[in-house]
Amino acid sequence: MNAFLHIDFPALAAALLALVGCGTLGNWLVLRKEAMTGDAIAHAVLPGLVAGFLVTGTRSVAAMFLGAALAGVGAILLAGWVRARTKTGAAAALGIVFTACFALGVALLETRGARQVDLDPECVLFGSLETLFYVVPAEGSWIAGVPRAIWSLAAAACVALTFTAMFAKELTLLSFDREFARFSGVAPRALERALLIVVSACVVASFEAVGSVLVIAFLACPALIAAPHARSVRGQIALSLAAGAAIATGAYFLAAFAPQLFGARSALNAAGMISAALAAAVPLSHIARSMLNRRRA
Amino acid sequence: MKKITSAQKGGGRDPVNSPQRNSTLPLEVRGLSAGYGGERSVVHDIAFTLAPSTMTALIGPNGAGKSTLLKAILALLPECHAERIAFFGTELSAARARVAYIPQRSAIDWNFPASALDVVAMGLYRKLGFFRRVGRDARETARAALETVGLGAVSTAPISELSGGQQQRVLIARALAQDADLLILDEPFANVDALTEERIAEVLRGLRDRDRTILAVHHDLRSVRRHFHDVMVLNGSLLAKGTAVEVMTDAVLAEAYGFPLERNA
């Protein structure tokens, strides 16, 4: 039990907080048929992370966070500009800008020597869930021992939930019928930009702890799992979070403890296992829906 | 071409159409040309007015620019030049609450997780304002709008389970809940059976009788005269405008559609 509290609980809590933040916002992306946007943003923040590292010379969290946030917002504005100036569609404009950003990030990483230091590509992909420990502080309150990543994830989750609660009506309208939204006093472009900025912030805050693979999975999969079964937007968000939490918890324990049952000494990568489980659940959810429909018919 | 907003141009230049008189007109369009940013505009030199409590069909062959014209009027197109577009004597931005645009049914994702009542309640969002939830009053208003279009029984059904005609009526009910005075519809009768078409037409006639003004793109030449009192014929430019009886002549239709009708003309 002690080992669980100190080792597994912080990692699981981090994963679930990232799920609440990214998973909630992912519903709006999926409702807007823009599930790819999450993927794109997760790629776009890379040059910002690297640039933040290069400018300060340390893996200072504040610098990298700021760089990533600027890169995310910059890429979104650039994609909007490409879309307005050319005849490409929204998705294609995003694709152009975000792959370019990612390429820039990789080029920076390779040429500027960041690779030799501490910026581990593996860490970028799979995060650092396994390094989150809770150590009871020798003195002072128990709160001081909570890993810093937990706080930034909790803040991101709060921002995502608050944004969703405040603009639920307007976001629903925007997703369902953009032109009608304008007749209802909603400024579609401003709201779209706000959504993307909040998504970027959430992605950046989740990046360090859970890695880009799991961020992308949390943005797209829970909403895609819930979509075939939901009858209302609120229902879809609730279902996506419940299903996502159940799957993530199950997958975490599978990764942590299943190898031991087979005599292995190590554990599997938790972020990778959760991502795989979420990805597998999407088609299963759709198959379940069509089987239910067939039975009813 | 220089873009002239209706504010710059103003309404009362000529003495015949004084602003006071025009202010009651639900829609007034003059000198409108619009397209999608290519070399040629899709519709050009459009001028018409809609009188209150009328029901007008906008007809024309495929590619005539019917949907383009509607979108241009509603400022949904990037490329639009007009001397004047006035809703109830003022600019669209000041009159949005009184104008409802009902898009083609196919333009909407009907797998969206919402009930019929949810969609109709969207018509009330403007009145509710930011940060306010849809409360009991709003739900009652939405339910009443659904009753008006004959969908009271399916108000809680997911929109994905409604028939095409029911979906069309949900959109009309949303405009009703919004309490709009001018309804602009893009093909309300597309892909519905004859009985459903009759029901939708009945709903629209009922609205007109309660002082709403209706402008609808229509495709079926055979039913124009049955459903609409007034007709505008479009093919790039407006070819004719008047009552259905005046306009729906072989000569006009031959010009618009290129039918081989010369011998009757």
Task: Look at residue A199 and tell me if it is in a domain.
Answer: yes
Residue B127 confidence (pLDDT): 80
Residue A48 confidence (pLDDT): 84
pLDDT of A11-39, one tens digit each? 899 999 999 999 999 999 999 988 888 88
Residue B12 confidence (pLDDT): 36
Q: Which of B120, B111, B112, B186 is nearest to A175 (CA)?
A: B112
Residue B16: pLDDT over 50 = no
- What is the band of B135 on the pLDDT scale with cuts at 50, 70, 90? confident
Domain that holds residue A225: 2-286
Task: Look at residue A292 and tell me if it is in a domain.
Answer: no
- What is the band of A122 on the pLDDT scale with cuts at 50, 70, 90? low
More confident residue, B91 or A242: A242
Taking residues A61-79, report their average pLDDT: 80
Interface with B, mutate which of A184, A224, A240, A296 (most B CBs under 10 A)? A184
Task: Look at residue A297 and tell me if it is in a domain.
Answer: no
Task: Judge: B114–A185 Cβ closer than 8 Å, yes or no.
Answer: no
Inter-residue contact B29 to B54 (CB < 8 Å): no
CA B134, CA B121: separation in Å to the nearest integer? 7
Of B108, B115, B126, the CB nearest to A185: B126
Task: Judge: A184–B126 Cβ closer than 8 Å, yes or no.
Answer: yes
Q: How many residues are present in chain B?
A: 265
- Interface check for A169 against chain B (CB to CB < 8 A): the answer is yes
Residues of B in contact with A240 (CB under 8 A): none
Q: Which of A131, A148, A133 is nearest to A5 (CA)?
A: A133
Total tally of structural domains belonging to chain A: 1
pLDDT of A139-176, one tens digit each? 777 777 788 888 889 999 999 999 999 999 999 999 99
Residue A174 confidence (pLDDT): 92
Of B101, B113, B158, the CB nearest to A183: B101
Inter-residue contact B192 to B164 (CB < 8 Å): yes
Residues of A in contact with B101 (CB under 8 A): 179-180, 183
Task: Look at residue A122 and tell me if it is in a domain.
Answer: yes
Residue B153 confidence (pLDDT): 92
Task: Judge: B109–A172 Cβ closer than 8 Å, yes or no.
Answer: no
Of B99, B129, B130, the CB nearest to A183: B99
Classify strands B55-59 and B213-217 as parallel, antiparallel or unpaired.
parallel
Of A33, A167, A179, the CB nearest to B103: A179
Of A173, A182, A232, the CB nearest to B113: A232
Inter-residue contact B32 to B46 (CB < 8 Å): yes
Residue B19: pLDDT over 50 = no
Residue B137: pLDDT over 80 = yes
Q: What is the mean pLDDT of chain A?
A: 85
What single letter denotes the amino acid at residue B243?
T
Inter-residue contact A274 to A252 (CB < 8 Å): yes
What single letter denotes the amino acid at residue B205?
R
Task: Judge: A173–B122 Cβ closer than 8 Å, yes or no.
Answer: yes
Task: Look at residue A294 and tell me if it is in a domain.
Answer: no
Residue B94 confidence (pLDDT): 87
Residue A118: pLDDT over 70 = no
Task: Look at residue A296 and tell me if it is in a domain.
Answer: no
CA A243, CA A201: separation in Å to the nearest integer? 24
Interface with A, mutate which of B87, B91, B127, B130 (most A CBs under 10 A)? B130
Residues of A in contact with B127 (CB under 8 A): none
Token pair for B39: 């070399």
- Interface check for B87 against chain A (CB to CB < 8 A): the answer is no
- Interface check for A30 against chain B (CB to CB < 8 A): the answer is no
CA B27, CA B181: separation in Å to the nearest integer? 11
Task: Look at residue A191 and tell me if it is in a domain.
Answer: yes
A–B CB contacts, 8 A cutoff, strictly below? 68
- Structural domains of chain B ordered from first start: 6-264 (3.40.50.300)
pTM, two decimals, is 0.83
The position carrying tokens 């006035």 is B86
Question: Shortest Cα distance from B115 to chain A (angstroms)?
Answer: 7
Structural Rg of chain B based on CA atoms = 19
Token pair for A75: 């890429």
Task: Judge: B103–A170 Cβ closer than 8 Å, yes or no.
Answer: no
Taking residues B221-237, report their average pLDDT: 90
Q: Residue A99 to residues A5, A106, A282, A283: CA-CA distances in angstroms?
A: 40, 11, 25, 27
Task: Judge: B128–A169 Cβ closer than 8 Å, yes or no.
Answer: yes
Residue A153 confidence (pLDDT): 92
State the SS3 of chain B.
CCCCCHHHHCCCCCCCCCHHHHCCCCEEEEEEEEECCCCCCCEEEEEEEECCCCEEEEECCCCCCHHHHHHHHCCCCCEEECCEEEECCECHHHHHHHEEEECCHHHCCCCCCCEHHHHHHHHHHHHHCCCCCCCHHHHHHHHHHHHHCCCHHHCCCEHHHCCHHHHHHHHHHHHHHHCCCEEEECCCCCCCCHHHHHHHHHHHHHHHHCCCEEEEECCCHHHHHHHCCEEEEEECEEEEEEEHHHHCCHHHHHHHHCCCCHHHC
- What is the band of A106 on the pLDDT scale with cuts at 50, 70, 90? confident
- Interface check for B251 against chain A (CB to CB < 8 A): the answer is no
Burial class (CB in 10 A: 0-12, 13-18, 19+), A5: exposed
Which residues contact residue A162 at a Cβ distance below 8 angstroms, ignoring those fewer than 6 apart?
none
Of B112, B133, B158, the CB nearest to A176: B112
Task: Look at residue A291 and tell me if it is in a domain.
Answer: no
Residue A117 confidence (pLDDT): 53
Structural Rg of chain A based on CA atoms = 20
Interface with B, mutate which of A180, A225, A233, A289 (most B CBs under 10 A)? A180
Task: Judge: B109–A176 Cβ closer than 8 Å, yes or no.
Answer: yes
Residue A92: pLDDT over 70 = yes
Three-class secondary structure of residue A137 per DSSP: coil
Residue A290 confidence (pLDDT): 92
More confident residue, A193 or B131: A193
- Interface check for A113 against chain B (CB to CB < 8 A): the answer is no
Task: Judge: B118–A232 Cβ closer than 8 Å, yes or no.
Answer: yes
The interface predicted TM-score (ipTM) is 0.80
Residue B11: pLDDT over 80 = no
